[in-house]
Amino acid sequence: MQHILENEALKLCINDAGAELCSVLDKASGSERIWTADPAVWNRHAPILFPFVGKLVNGKYRVGGREYAMKTQHGFARDMDFTCLEETPFSVAHRLLPTAALQENYPYSFCLDIRHSLDPENPRLLHIAWRVENRGGDLMYYSIGGHPGFLMPEGVRKEDCSLVFPGRDRLTYFGANAAGFALPAEKHTLSLSAGRAPYQADIPSTWIFEGQAIETVGIALPDGSPFITMRCEQFPLLAVWANPAGPFICLEPWFGRTDNAGFTGTLAEKPGMQTLAPGGHREISYSVEFHPLAS
């Protein structure tokens, strides 16, 4: 089932499947702002990444003296049907609870709530809020992240756009190998002019910015006008990714990331892994502003 949020500027659709934002219609221009999930290119719109971000070496992880399998990258939440808890014209809340089948591969009793809400003052601003709760009796390990794909306007190439990091003149990032595992020792430098750098599709396909306190990131169109602004000040990691075949760019705020290439440690040793004590919870949010397009 889909849920519609709407104001004078935007019309949003959120699916129960994956609690995924699947459409943002810009009313002024009549254009879609979220990637259309073309299966020939990338069959997602804006998936939630939980309880892992990225891949596990050999599809396995180790915790509490046991080994578990998680063959799919980015965990399982994106492929699960969530329960709709609450819906208004301007917000919708979803919940995912574990099943016995899920706990065979992820042994924690968790509660994951996701809320999408339109801002009451800025009609072009969307808030995405997550609440992760540990309802079990053991320390819980998890990662969580966003993966929204922003669709370029018709006739605009992403290679002609810029990434925007306000107030920054230099950042470092690393990529992943062909199998999708991180190469943190192979750092690259991104030099920015007035907080901007041209998007470059070839270096590398995933850019991972780790531990650099990036509070705001955006996409600017070829004429320099703002297209997307994401505020993600809570997050220790940010990734930028795009499929070369599709006219979209993903801006991905992360808690946690893919395994390092060759990693063989436990979850306690896995880079970026988060923990929750029994009975504990954490609230995390980010926002996206869909700037108006020039007429």
Token representation of residue 156: 């605009």
Maximum C-alpha span of the chain: 60
Q: What is the model's pLDDT at position 19?
A: 98
- Asked if the structure places residue 295 within a domain, the reply is no
Closest among 149, 148, 157, 205 to 182, alpha carbons compared: 205
- Asked if the structure places residue 23 within a domain, the reply is yes
Contact 284, 132 (CB under 8 A): yes
Quick: pLDDT tens for 79-108: 999 999 999 999 999 999 999 989 999 999
Quick: pLDDT tens for 100-141: 989 999 999 999 999 999 999 999 999 999 999 999 999 999
DSSP-derived secondary structure letter, 211: S
Mean pLDDT of 235-239: 96
Q: Looking at residue 204, which CATH number applies to its domain?
A: 2.70.98.10
Average model confidence (pLDDT) for the chain?
94
| Bigger pLDDT: 201 vs 188 | 188
Cα(6)–Cα(8) distance, integer angstroms: 7
Q: What is the model's pLDDT at position 203?
A: 53
DSSP 39-52: TTT---SS-EEBS-
Quick: pLDDT tens for 33-53: 999 999 999 999 999 999 999
Number of domains in the chain: 1
Q: Is residue 205's pLDDT more than 80?
A: no
Closest among 131, 130, 134 to 276, alpha carbons compared: 134
Q: What is the model's pLDDT at position 200?
A: 80
Compute the residue count for the chain: 295
- Asked if the structure places residue 172 within a domain, the reply is yes
Report pTM.
0.95
- Asked if the structure places residue 31 within a domain, the reply is yes
Q: What is the model's pLDDT at position 201?
A: 66
Q: What is the model's pLDDT at position 295?
A: 62
Contact 241, 199 (CB under 8 A): no
Quick: pLDDT tens for 54-65: 999 999 999 988
DSSP 126-185: EEEEEEEEE-SSS-EEE-EEE-PEEEPPTT--GGG-EEE-TT-SEEEEEEE-TTS-EEEE
Element (H, E) at 240: strand 237-241
Q: What is the model's pLDDT at position 179?
A: 86
Token representation of residue 246: 């599709």
- Asked if the structure places residue 198 within a domain, the reply is yes
Closest among 290, 46, 231, 218 to 146, alpha carbons compared: 46
- Asked if the structure places residue 75 within a domain, the reply is yes
Contact 147, 44 (CB under 8 A): yes
pLDDT tier at 202, thresholds 50, 70, 90? low
Place of tokens 């808890």: 85
Domain that holds residue 151: 2-290
